Amino acid sequence: MKTFLEPSYNIPNIQNARNIYEFKDGSIIQFNRGSFDDYRVTYFPNKQKMNLGYSPKDEDYFLDLMYLKNVVGNEVIWNDFMTLSDMVKDNGLQHNASPDYSGGTIAYVRIQLNSIVKKYPANIQEETFKLFMTLWAVMLSEWYHTYGGRTSFLKHTPKVIGAYQVLNNIYTPKESSEFSKNDKMINEVILEHHSNYDLKRPKREKLKKIMDIYQIDYSWL
């Protein structure tokens, strides 16, 4: 999986580190203090070297989802991704927009993911589990991201938009990774479907319109 093949670099003075999961190969994903909040997701390939790691990239997640689409088909990977998304959503809603990542919750996620990956070929089940667990942590972290002193209005839905785009061959993984930050791309999609839409509306409203176009549920936001 491309997500786990990026070069590591030295991360000095890691603060507020909370290990989320240790994988069978000895790698770890962790929440720690980033530039803006305490929910930077960092991947450490070797638990014996917890200063060498990196933050996984959206483009890599999307490349890996495309790879899995070619293995199991679009319907399977999309449904599995949305199951993952719903697990994050339900967690957040049940905990007053502050999703839980206690040991009990992570154990529950592990059980669910172990069941999901059984439909994948045996030789990629472990890597698929790693990808899904990492995506779960990343999407959960986005509920805590702050912008101008407030948490994100859209939670993890930009990841859902990007996954939909790459799995339906609308954009490349790189383009989809940039989409939710790119006003020009957002406006082009909206105007293609709604020529009279007021493009002066806030970006969060425009991204909801994108989800409406793609028939992605956002009623819970």
> What average pLDDT does this structure show over 120-146?
97
This prediction's pTM: 0.96
Please name the amino acid found at residue 220. Answer: W
Q: Are residues 48 and 135 in the same domain?
A: no
Q: Read off the pLDDT band of 59 (50, 70, 90).
A: very high
Do residue 85 and residue 8 come from a single domain? no
- Whether residues 87 and 122 share a domain: the answer is yes
Q: Is the pLDDT of residue 148 over 80?
A: no
d(CA 54, CA 129): 19
Tokens read off for 171? 């954009």
Whether 65 maps to a domain, the answer reads yes
User: Do 23 and 126 have their domain in common?
Assistant: no
Q: Is the pLDDT of residue 151 over 90?
A: no
Same domain, 153 and 198: yes
Does 218 map to a domain?
A: no
Query: Which of 17, 33, 53 marks a domain boundary?
Result: 53
Could you give the CA distance from residue 18 to residue 32 in angstroms, rounded to a whole number? Answer: 6
Range of the domain at 101: 58-213
**40 and 86 both lie in a single domain:** no
Q: Of 53, 68, 96, which residue constitutes the final position of a domain?
A: 53
Q: Quick one: 105 and 21 in the same domain? A: no
Cα gap 155→135, rounded to integer Å? 13
The number of domains in the chain is 2
- CA–CA dist 188, 55 (Å, integer): 30
In a domain, 221, yes or no: no
Question: Helix, strand or coil for residue 147?
Answer: strand
29 pLDDT band, cuts 50/70/90, is very high
Q: Is the residue at 163 inside a domain?
A: yes
Are 48 and 62 in the same domain?
no
Q: Is residue 94 part of a domain?
A: yes
What order do you get walking across the sheet with 28-32 strand by strand?
Answer: 18-22, 28-32, 40-44
Domain shared by 81 and 16, yes or no: no
Residues 141 and 169 in one domain: yes
Stated length of the chain: 221
Same domain, 118 and 194: yes
Residue 172 within any structural domain of the chain:
yes
Establish if 139 belongs to a structural domain: yes
Helix (H, G, I), strand (E, B) or coil at 145: coil
Residue 51 pLDDT class (50, 70, 90 cuts)? very high
Could you tell me the sign of the dihedral formed by the alpha carbons of 37, 19, 114, 3, in that order?
positive
Please check whether residues 25 and 77 belong to one and the same domain: no
CA nearest to 157, candidates 69, 79, 91, 221: 221
What is the chain's mean pLDDT, rounded? 97
Residue 207 domain flag: yes
pLDDT computed for residue 35 by the predictor: 87
The per-residue pLDDT for range 203-215, each reduced to its tens digit, is: 999 999 999 999 9
